[in-house]
Amino acid sequence: MSKFYYSKLKLLIQTNGINIKNIESLYSTLDIVHIDTNKITINIESPYGQIAVYTFLDSTSGIPFENITRNIFFNKKLGIKISIPLKPHIYDYEIGNKNLDEIINIETSYHLPLTASNYCYYFKNNNECKFCAINTWRDSKSKSINKKIEAIKLATNEDSIKHISITTGTLNTADRGLKIILKFVEKIRKEGIHLLIAIECEPTSKTEYLKRLKDMNVTTISCNIEFLDDNIRKQLMPGKGSILFEEYLFFFNECVNIFDNSQIYTNVLWSKFDLFNENVKNRIKLLTKLGVIPSIGVLYSEEHSQLGMVLKPNIDTMYDLHLFNAFELKKNGLNPLKAIAGCPKNSSYSAINEFYKEI
Ligand code: SF4
């Protein structure tokens, strides 16, 4: 098996999606959570264990798989098996007349992502990021933080989650929403929940909140620049794209002084618009030198967003970008395999871990 075989395979599946013949007829036996969204997490069976991949169903360009047993599928040409995780029994529960799947959505690796607030200031003037639909997320139906806390307790007692991440829409305040996250974390800790926590926020000058989060045992932080090219940032994120790269650098610098090594991340999304040029290379160098891990993934535009589709990137470019990134991470002593919580720990969105292991 050639070097980077599974890294490339993950990129291939992330970019093209999968095509399972007559999948609709399998829904009742498969019992998959949230299959109606068309997005799905699968596991590639590999000699090194299962590799989780967040992808989508596409009956035209998707990699074809045939059903061999209940939730196991096979591609003859590639000689690989994938499995689709079945709905865990915890979703049979209800909290206050609401099905649990309307309140929480447990992801791979026992990860529970939560939203402190689904309000984002940028939606107000149609300045929202063109791939985002935070206002329609499943958990937006349950605005009650208390219900979410009850759900966390239930999922913890049932051993269904081991770490959580908390995000929020951007607020038109100096802290850009970080204070709401802080309050959510405070409430979780007051309820005696000791799970590992990651947070996702926008860069802010109110960095005093970071120390308080660290004191409450928040381990991991993501501040997502999303795109490294300024023109693409402005084009796809009319609101958030106006935040300068330098503001991110200032914020990351503060994070580095507070959080541990290999616990600071920034999402880098890749689509057909992106070019792997010198500017992108320089920014990866700057970020990794500072102590930030660029977590590269495919731009999956959400269904109810302005774009509403997957803008499939060029796989060769993504491959080159991942290799370059993995090399810079190693050079700067950063290790994404050490991520403690949140999406970086979940790792289904990015092939970063696979490239890092194989380089
Ligand atoms: S991704 Fe953009 S639109 Fe969505 S919540 Fe964040 S800042 Fe708002």
Q: Per residue in 169-215, pLDDT tens?
A: 999 999 999 999 999 999 999 999 999 999 999 999 999 999 999 99
Pocket test for ligand 1, best of 181, 240, 248 (most atoms within 8 A of CB): 240
The CA distances from residue 333 to 173, 262, 325, 354, in Å, are: 35, 8, 12, 17
**Can you give the pLDDT at residue 198?**
98
Instruction: Indicate the pLDDT class of residue 278, thresholds 50, 70 and 90.
Output: very high
Instruction: Indicate the pLDDT class of residue 96, thresholds 50, 70 and 90.
Output: confident
Residue 127 Cα: closest atom of ligand 1: 3
- Residues of the chain with pLDDT > 70: what percent? 97
Query: Is this model's pTM higher than 0.75 or not?
Result: yes
Q: Which amino acid is located at 10 in the chain?
A: K
Nearest CA to ligand 1 atom 6: 169
Pocket test for ligand 1, best of 117, 118, 119, 120 (most atoms within 8 A of CB): 120
Domain with CATH 3.20.20.70 in the chain: 89-358
What is the distance of C-alpha 128 from the center of its chain? 18
Q: How far apart are the first and last CA of the chain?
A: 15
Instruction: Indicate the pLDDT class of residue 34, thresholds 50, 70 and 90.
Output: low
Average pLDDT value for the chain: 93
Instruction: Calculate how far, in angstroms, residue 199's C-alpha sits from the geometric centre of ligand 1.
Output: 15
| Average pLDDT score over residue span 160-168 | 97
Q: Is 239 a residue whose pLDDT tops 70?
A: yes
Residue 168 Cα: closest atom of ligand 1: 5
pLDDT, greater one: 305 or 311: 305
Rounded CA separation 157/129 (Å): 37
Nearest CA to ligand 1 atom 5: 169
Buried b / exposed e across 254-267, counting CB within 10 Å, b at 16+?
Answer: bbeebbeebbbbbb
Residues with CB under 6 A from ligand 1: 120, 122, 128-129, 132, 134, 169-170, 237, 240
| Average pLDDT score over residue span 149-164 | 95
Instruction: Indicate the pLDDT class of residue 142, thresholds 50, 70 and 90.
Output: low
Strand-pair partners of 270: 298
Q: Is 291 a residue whose pLDDT tops 90?
A: yes
Q: Is 82 a residue whose pLDDT tops 80?
A: yes
Range in 64-68, 286-290, 308-312 with the lowest mean pLDDT: 308-312
Q: Is 35 a residue whose pLDDT tops 70?
A: no
- CATH superfamily assigned to domain 89-358: Aldolase class I (3.20.20.70)
Q: Is 344 a residue whose pLDDT tops 80?
A: yes
Pocket test for ligand 1, best of 125, 129, 204, 223 (most atoms within 8 A of CB): 129
Instruction: Indicate the pLDDT class of residue 141, thresholds 50, 70 and 90.
Output: low
E strand spans, the chain: 18-20, 39-46, 49-56, 63-69, 72-75, 80-83, 94-95, 98-99, 111-115, 163-167, 196-200, 218-222, 264-270, 293-298
Instruction: Calculate how far, in angstroms, residue 48's C-alpha sits from the geometric centre of ligand 1.
Output: 36
| Average pLDDT score over residue span 57-81 | 93
Buried b / exposed e across 43-63, counting CB within 10 Å, b at 16+?
Answer: bbebeeeebbbbbbeeeeebb
Instruction: Calculate how far, in angstroms, residue 256's C-alpha sits from the geometric centre of ligand 1.
Output: 24
Asked whether 58 and 75 are in contact (CB, 8 A), the reply is: no
Instruction: Calculate how far, in angstroms, residue 294's C-alpha sits from the geometric centre of ligand 1.
Output: 18
| Average pLDDT score over residue span 231-241 | 96
273-282: list long-range contacts, CB under 8 Å, 24+ apart: 273/232, 273/235, 273/236, 273/311, 274/227, 274/228, 274/229, 274/232, 274/313, 274/317, 275/229, 275/317, 276/317, 276/320, 276/321, 276/324, 277/229, 279/228, 279/229, 280/228, 280/229, 280/321, 281/324
Residue 169 Cα: closest atom of ligand 1: 5
Asked whether 339 and 220 are in contact (CB, 8 A), the reply is: yes
Residue 121 Cα: closest atom of ligand 1: 8
| Average pLDDT score over residue span 81-97 | 89
Instruction: Calculate how far, in angstroms, residue 66's C-alpha sits from the geometric centre of ligand 1.
Output: 37
Q: Is 89 a residue whose pLDDT tops 90?
A: no
Nearest CA to ligand 1 atom 4: 132
What is the distance of C-alpha 239 from the center of its chain? 21
Nearest CA to ligand 1 atom 2: 129
pLDDT tens digits along 245-264: 999 999 999 999 999 999 99
- Residues of the chain with pLDDT > 90: what percent? 77
